[in-house]
């Protein structure tokens, strides 16, 4: 929420007085709503001052309030004139009349009929029902914040002038360029259900300053649509005619099936992870490849989901020791993440980390350290030096030094990781226990068996308490201790 925008609770405490005092100021009062309940409270309070208020919903609050004809003219002429608007509508009606259709409408009522059938006109759709406007605001452009605009009718000079639907276009454009209101005859179910009203501006647009603006954040659009559906405001209700039915079916069918496909993608990724944990690598590869294909279809090649599936394939090949294939998939994932998320995103750092692990497994320690340091730079900058993910990278760097036999450096990095794990996760967390185990291994390889046993015992106590006596980590630590004791006793 922006700094100057009141929240719903504060706004509703004074909304009637606020509008009485602020209505003619140049700053448009705005209210950000995040639920249907907040929106209803706003409209009930606001309509006490504007009993004949009209509402218009726009899926992107950055759009200007422009008619379809104005937008079409603007696409071809940088600055549409009123003469262009008049000539366009005159030609539109003439072309229609030449078809010989036996239509009783004329003037503005004929323009409304043509717009109902898809023509671009100067008519701006509004509704008397604020819930209908809210539905139109939320139904599309899901990545944009929406706006509902309440036309400030019913107060002094802001009253819209009623317009006779039979007025001819030439006579209309001879009038003063102010905003008129035209209420179409209730000739079909759509007009009735949407409680349609048109505002007519000879210029083809209306300034936002003539409205009170309600902003709907993009992340709340779907939730509000669900709430509207629960009270009977949906596409099938608002578009009950044949055209509406066809459009509604197509949109709803594709929307439903896209959501189903997204669920399938999530299930495939989950199944692939389970196969990997069970060491069923062939099955995991098959499932992750299917997930990658579905991700490309649903989200596109350059998407976080596609990158995630590529990364999972890299992990499977790494687990199998197929390092060249693992690097190939990790590099594909990295190319997407650097492009889409940027080079300083945690997911990008995770891919750097995965590449480093492959080089570590190959014994290419210098390259492993290079990639771990890339991951570390991002983790420290974005997540901070005391984040568990940063500690994990410290652990990885320590492991490289350990395998190189540089035990003092290994201990230094393990101790950095340990300090973070103990502080953020606690002294009885499995990740803390793993670091205790790593420290013990360093002392073990240095021949400092008493210290090694001390740290093994710390790890063992946590594993037995948290994971159980038969967990693989518990069993491995117990075996490490037994080997160390034998070394102390001089056994080979």
Q: Which CATH number characterizes residue 400's domain?
A: 1.25.40.10
Q: Classify residue 247: in a domain, yes or no.
A: no
Mean confidence (pLDDT) of the chain? 85
Q: Which residues contact 386 (CB under 8 A, 6 or more apart)?
A: 420, 423, 424
Residue span of the structural domain in which 43 resides: 8-240
In terms of pLDDT, which residue wins out, 185 or 44?
Answer: 185
258 is a domain residue: yes
Indicate the pLDDT class of residue 1, thresholds 50, 70 and 90.
Answer: very low
Q: Quick one: 31 and 56 in the same domain?
A: yes
Residue 98, pLDDT > 90, answer no
Average pLDDT, integer, range 331-356? 93
pLDDT given at position 115: 85
Residue 19 reports pLDDT greater than 80: no
Q: What is the pLDDT of residue 249?
A: 63
Residue that wins the pLDDT comparison between 186 and 302: 302
Q: Is the pLDDT of residue 28 over 70?
A: no
Nearest to 215 by CA among 14, 373, 478, 32: 32
The DSSP element (H or E) to which 426 belongs, if any, is none
Compute the average pLDDT of residues 19-32.
58
- Averaged pLDDT for residues 252-260: 62
Q: Are residue 216 and residue 274 in the same domain, yes or no?
A: no
Which is higher by pLDDT, 191 or 247?
A: 191
Among left, alpha and beta (phi > 0; psi -120 to 50; other), residue 187 is alpha
User: Which tokens hold the place of 28?
Assistant: 């448009």
Any idea which residue has 């079409």 for tokens? Answer: 72
Domain presence at residue 369: yes
Q: Are residues 12 and 151 in the same domain?
A: yes
Based on the fold, state whether residues 307 and 229 are members of the same structural domain.
no
Q: Are residues 193 and 268 in the same domain?
A: no
- Model confidence at 10: pLDDT above 50: no
C-alpha distances (whole Å) from 143 to each of 59, 68, 216, 221, 300 are 9, 22, 12, 9, 16
pLDDT confidence of residue 250 = 60
Confidence of residue 353 (pLDDT cuts 50, 70, 90): very high
Please tell me the predicted confidence (pLDDT) of residue 142. 86
State the pLDDT at residue 489.
75
Within a domain: residue 208? yes
Q: How far is CA 87 from the centre of its chain?
A: 43
In a domain, 375, yes or no: yes
Domain finish residue from 240, 260, 295: 240
Q: pTM for this structure? A: 0.52
Residue 47 shares a structural domain with residue 146: yes
Are 305 and 235 contained in the same domain? Answer: no
Q: What value does the mean pLDDT take over residues 40-44?
A: 79
Does some domain include residue 245?
no
- At 20, the pLDDT band (50, 70, 90 cuts) reads very low
State which of 182, 216, 240 marks the end of a domain: 240
For position 82, what pLDDT does the model report?
A: 87
- Looking at the structure, tell me whether residues 183 and 286 fall in a common domain: no
pLDDT of residue 21: 54
Mean of pLDDT values over 302-311: 93
Apex 196 CA angle, 190 and 198, nearest 5: 135
Range from 172-181, 252-261, 270-279 carrying the lowest mean pLDDT: 252-261
Q: Which two tokens stand for residue 112?
A: 């409304």
Task: Considering only residues 241 and 387, tell me which one the structure prediction assigns the higher pLDDT.
Answer: 387
Residue after which a domain boundary falls, among 240, 267, 291? 240
Report whether 199 contacts 124 (CB < 8 A).
yes
For the cut 90, the answer to whether the pLDDT of residue 327 exceeds it is yes
- Confidence tier at 450 by pLDDT (50, 70, 90): very high
User: How many folded domains does the chain comprise?
Assistant: 2
On whether both 263 and 297 belong to a single domain, the answer is yes
Q: Do both 157 and 298 map to the same domain?
A: no
**Residue 118 backbone class (left: φ over 0; alpha: ψ -120 to 50; beta: rest):** left
Task: Give me the pLDDT at residue 103, please.
Answer: 66
- Round to whole Å and give the CA distance between 287 and 281: 10
Same structural domain, 214 and 268: no
Q: Which of 212, 216, 213, 215 is nearest to 154 (CA)?
A: 212
Residues 135/129, Cβ–Cβ less than 8 Å:
no
Residues 186 and 279 grouped into a single domain: no
Is there a contact between 371 and 355 (Cβ–Cβ < 8 Å)? Answer: yes
Domain for residue 394, yes or no? yes
């Amino acid at each position: 929420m922006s700094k100057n925008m009141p929240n719903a609770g504060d706004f509703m405490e004074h909304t009637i007085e606020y509008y009485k005092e602020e209505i003619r100021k140049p700053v448009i009062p705005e209210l950000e709503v995040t639920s249907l309940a907040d929106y209803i409270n706003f409209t009930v309070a606001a309509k006490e001052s504007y009993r004949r208020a009209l509402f218009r919903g726009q899926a992107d609050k950055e759009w200007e309030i422009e008619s379809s004809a104005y937008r079409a003219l603007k696409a071809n002429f940088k600055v549409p004139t009123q003469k262009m608007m008049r000539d366009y509508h005159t030609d539109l009606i003439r072309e229609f009349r030449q078809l010989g259709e036996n239509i009783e409408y004329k003037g503005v009522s004929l323009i409304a009929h043509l717009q109902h059938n898809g023509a671009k006109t100067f008519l701006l759709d509004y509704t008397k029902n604020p819930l209908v406007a809210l539905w139109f605001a939320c139904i599309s452009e899901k990545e944009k914040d929406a706006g509902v605009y309440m036309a400030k009718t019913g107060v002094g000079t802001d009253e819209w002038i009623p317009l006779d639907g039979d007025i001819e276009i030439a006579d209309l454009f001879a009038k003063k360029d102010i905003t008129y209101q035209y209420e179409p005859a209730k000739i079909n179910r759509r007009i009735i259900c949407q409680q349609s009203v048109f505002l007519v501006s000879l210029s083809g647009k209306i300034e936002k300053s003539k409205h009170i603006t309600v902003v709907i954040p993009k992340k709340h659009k779907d939730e509000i649509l669900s709430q509207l559906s629960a009270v009977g405001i949906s596409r099938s209700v608002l578009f009950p005619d044949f055209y509406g039915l066809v459009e509604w079916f197509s949109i709803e069918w594709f929307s439903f099936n896209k959501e189903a496909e997204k669920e399938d993608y999530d299930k495939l990724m989950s199944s692939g992870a389970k196969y990997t944990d069970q060491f069923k690598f062939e099955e995991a590869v098959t499932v992750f490849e299917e997930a990658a294909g579905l991700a490309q279809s649903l989200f596109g090649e350059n998407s976080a989901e596609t990158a995630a599936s590529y990364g999972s394939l890299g992990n499977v090949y790494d687990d199998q020791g197929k390092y060249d294939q693992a690097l190939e998939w990790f590099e594909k994932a990295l190319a997407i993440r650097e492009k889409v998320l940027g080079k300083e995103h945690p997911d990008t750092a995770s891919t750097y980390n995965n590449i480093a692990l492959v080089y570590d497994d190959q014994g290419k320690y210098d390259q492993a350290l290079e990639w771990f340091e890339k991951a570390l730079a991002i983790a420290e900058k974005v997540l901070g030096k005391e984040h568990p993910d940063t500690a994990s990278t410290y652990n990885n760097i320590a492991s490289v030094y350990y395998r190189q036999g540089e035990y003092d450096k290994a201990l230094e990095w393990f101790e950095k990781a340990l300090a973070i794990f103990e502080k953020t996760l606690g002294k009885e967390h499995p990740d803390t226990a793993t670091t205790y185990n790593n420290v013990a291994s360093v002392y073990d390889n240095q021949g400092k068996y008493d210290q090694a046993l001390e740290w093994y015992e710390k790890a063992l106590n946590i594993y037995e308490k948290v994971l159980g006596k038969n967990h693989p980590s518990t069993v491995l630590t117990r075996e490490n201790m037994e080997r160390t004791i034998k070394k102390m006793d001089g056994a080979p």
